[in-house]
Structure 1
Amino acid sequence: MLRNWGALVMYTMISLAIFYVGFQLVNNPSSFLSSIIMTIGIAVLVFGAIYFLFLRNRVGSGSGRNSNEMKKYKQAVKQSKQKYKSSQPIKSNKSKLDTKLSVNSKKKKPKRKNTPNLRVIEGSKSKGKNRATF
């Protein structure tokens, strides 16, 4: 019975709030919109203050492990950029004759520079049952 009483009070409060919001919206929409904007602004300010004062340090540093991993990741990205930056060809201004020659050379199938290193592993394969026959 106590649970039903608490639910009844909660539903009554929610219905009165909805009724008040509808009443304000119909009678004074400009005041309603300004109060909604003020409420949202205050909520954003409070959340921002709580985040910057308390939560920012916890989320960013973690247990110290995340910051070390992030440093390692940034170092790896930096090395990768340096590696692939030097291997890319530098584009230069070409004349019309060069462009015609390059169009003809594009028609040829280019050879792969980096072939995959594949290895064949030989072994006996056991024959499975032929499931097509019963």
Structure 2
Amino acid sequence: MSRNWGTLVMYTLITLAVFYVGYQMVTNPSSFLSSIIMMIGIAVLVYGAIYFLFLRNRVGAGAGRNSNEMKKYKQAVKQSKQKYKSPAPVKSKAKPTPKFSSNTKQKKPKRKNAPNLRVIEGNKSKGKNRASF
């Protein structure tokens, strides 16, 4: 029974608040807007203070942002980059080799493994009428 009573009180307070907001908007809109803006500003300041003081260090902790697993992951990424890094070309002061002239033909490299494709013959005269779909 107490739960129904609490619900009734809550709905009554919400209804009175809605009527008061409507009354303020009709009778004194400038004061209403300034009070709404001030309430939003205070709420943002309070949320920002709570976030920076308490929640900032906890956000992402479940994902392991500062945990041992993340450190191990970063170390593995670093090792992988070192392992698969292509060696940097050595720059020397020797003359660069002359480029091929336009008269010489450059051969395209042949593929080592040609794709194994075959044509499947079918009845090509029967075509679906796609406009009827």
What is the TM-score when the length of structure 1 is the normalising length? 0.51
State the distance in 2 between where 1:80 and 1:59 align: 29
> Looking at CA atoms only, which structure, 1 or 2, has the larger radius of gyration?
2
User: What CA distance in whole angstroms lies between the structure 1 residues aligned with 2:31 and 2:85?
Assistant: 59
Distance 1:28 1:85, change over 3 A: farther
| Secondary structure of 1:23's aligned partner | helix
Q: Kindly indicate which of the two structures has a greater share of residues assigned to helix.
A: 1
Partner of 1:48: 48
Structure 1 regions of 5+ residues with no counterpart?
Answer: 88-93, 113-134
Structure 2 gap ranges (5+):
88-98, 115-133
Tell me the equivalent position of 2:73.
73
Quote the offset at 1:77 in angstroms. Answer: 2.5
Indicate the residue corresponding to 1:24 in structure 2. 24
Residues matched between the structures, number: 100
Q: Distance in 1 between matches of 2:27 and 2:77?
A: 60
- TM-score, L = length of structure 2: 0.51
Deviation at 1:37, TM superposition (A): 2.4
Residue identity over aligned pairs, in percent, reads: 78
Amino acid of the residue matched to residue 14 of structure 2? I
Other structure's SS at 2:3 match = helix
Deviations 1:45-75 (A, max 9, x none): 212222222233344656x995211111222
Deviation at 1:83, TM superposition (A): 4.3
Across the aligned residues of Structure 1 and Structure 2, the Cα RMSD in angstroms comes to 3.9
